[in-house]
Chain A
Amino acid sequence: MDPVFFYTFAVLAVISAVLVVWNPLARNTVTNAMFLVVTMLSISGLFVLLQAFFMAAVQVIVYAGAVMVLFLFVIMLLDIQAEKKRRLRLGGLISGISLSVATVLIFRNALFAEGGADETTGSMVFEGSTSALGKQLFTQYLLPFEIISVLLLVAMLGVILLSKKELK
């Protein structure tokens, strides 16, 4: 049963991820955003198959729910007509490809690792209690956790700055 679910979710995630950036049937930014929701939900399904129920639920709350904001961004701030006319640009292509290569390099250890994953830590953090995860975040991983929160704050300030046309 598990492989069937795995391949369903994996194929769905990859196909809809491709459709987010390149959709041959429709150049509609809202459609792209909706495919992003499908990708996020499929990834959440993969988390469930890994018994990581907490991660699955958080994946939906944080990512799938938040695509709604992107959706609004598309409708209210983006010039949809100009977006439809836009063609593929060389600079975008090069930066995109180099970014994906860099990501693969970062994850190469995980991708080409020998043997199975370390199941003890995995089940402790994911499957076990949420409080175990919380303790880890606030003790061992406190610094990265706080740095990420600062990053989010910066992103939020940036959005306010960009969306406010004239500053007082």
Chain B
Amino acid sequence: MTLQDILIATAKIVAFVGLVLPMIAYSVVAERRISAAIQDRIGPNRVGPFGLLQPLADGLKFLLKEDFTPNYVRKAYFWMAPALTMIPSFVVFAVIPFGSSLFGEKMVIADLNVGILFTFAIVSLSVYGIVLAGYASNSKYPFLGGIRSSAQMISYEIAMGMSVIPVFMLTSDPQFYATGLSEAWTTFLAGTADLNLSRIIAYQSGSLFDWMIFKQPLAFLIFLVAAFAETNRLPFDLPESETELVAGYHTEYSSMKFALFFLGEYAAMIAASALMVVLFLGGWTLPFWGLDEPASNLFTGLLHIAIFIGKLGIFMVFFIWIRWTLPRFRYDQLMNLGWKRFLPLALANIIVTAVWLWFRS
């Protein structure tokens, strides 16, 4: 690895964080404005035009509030937990292709050949932050929240992992990559292997009905619901369900430590949305106006990033909309849904896809 490589990687990381942090801040604003609209209120509109500077005010408030540590907590874990919630949500972004290329550089920090496995590995670590927060707080409600979260996230991780297998069964078609792609794509994909996320995008770039959401609707449905459970969003926010557990795993947290949990949730939502855009909605491509190929100039490069953020925004609004529409599940319903409905369905989907591929060959 040369100095130039390191500098380029650093620049990409800085740019990505610069892109993701405002997205997190403004998804909080969006959450508050959309919830207000749904409940026939106005929502925060005092700070700046249309309340657009609200994140600054919120941030200032989080910094100035007293950072209170109850004296019965387990200190080391109490400090570690917020960071452990925040870090995995950010690390997932390392393998997600946000756009095609700018200045001849691929718009992904680490173009791993095991991209999807990397994201699942990181997601499997994200449960530690919440469970440790519950354990460290050393009091009843956070503890229950942490335990709930662990069972919930382990269960839905399995359904989630199983649901994407058919997608990769379809996309690991060597013939398609040998003959079905234009030259721009072939050079773009040089050196990638089966589980690379850019390949999934290439496979879906042909037409609208090549998108996995149309080819694998069941896989998409399972993945979508599992994403809600993995990010602890309503209707699956059992770990923090405020009507029974006060605030669940972050009851004892205040000030910036609480903010890290809060922002971590939104970062996880953005990461899950980005993953769904890549896997099911054709990533940064659109099947017309020549936008289905890696960019050759600066304008299309920027346009691809804009398309990606636009698709991601649709999922974010959907996440928020669901939160203010559906009531919370009961815990046994949640577990039944995960283990007795989605897991068998995902397995059946794998078998059906396998049989179809076998017939076709």
Contacts and interface: CB of A to CB of B under 8 A. Distances in A.
Interface stretch (A82-90, A124-132, A153-161): A124-132
Contacts of A130: 114, 193-195
Contact of B125 (A1, A53, A58, A60): A60
Contact of A61 (B112, B113, B120, B147): B120
Chain B contact surface mostly: helix
Contact of B128 (A53, A56, A68, A76): A68
A78 to B, nearest CB: 14
A2 to B, nearest CB: 10
A11 interface: no
Contacts of B124: 60-61, 64-65, 68
A131 B117 contact: no
Contacts of B154: 65, 68-69
B1 interface: yes
Contacts of B121: 44, 57-58, 60-61, 64-65
B150 interface: yes
B202 interface: no
A128 B113 CA distance: 9
A12 interface: no
A16 to B, nearest CB: 15
B172 A131 contact: yes
Contacts of A76: 147
Most chain B beta carbons < 10 A, residue from A64, A68, A72, A75: A68
B147 A75 contact: yes
B108 interface: no
Nearest to A44: B121
Nearest to A129: B193
A10 to B, nearest CB: 20
Contact of A128 (B127, B151, B193): B193
Contacts of A37: 128
B135 interface: yes
Interface string B91-132: 000000000000000000000111001101110110110011
Interface of A: 1, 30, 34, 37, 44, 53-54, 56-58, 60-61, 64-65, 68-69, 71-72, 75-76, 128-131
22 contacts: A53-B112, A53-B113, A57-B118, A60-B121, A60-B124, A61-B120, A61-B124, A64-B121, A64-B124, A64-B125, A65-B121, A65-B125, A65-B127, A65-B154, A68-B128, A68-B131, A68-B150, A68-B154, A69-B154, A72-B147, A75-B135, A129-B193
Given A53-B118, A131-B172, 7 more contacts: A1-B1, A44-B121, A54-B114, A60-B122, A61-B121, A65-B127, A130-B194
Interface of B: 1, 77, 112-114, 117-118, 120-122, 124-125, 127-128, 131-132, 135, 147, 150-151, 154, 157, 172, 193-195
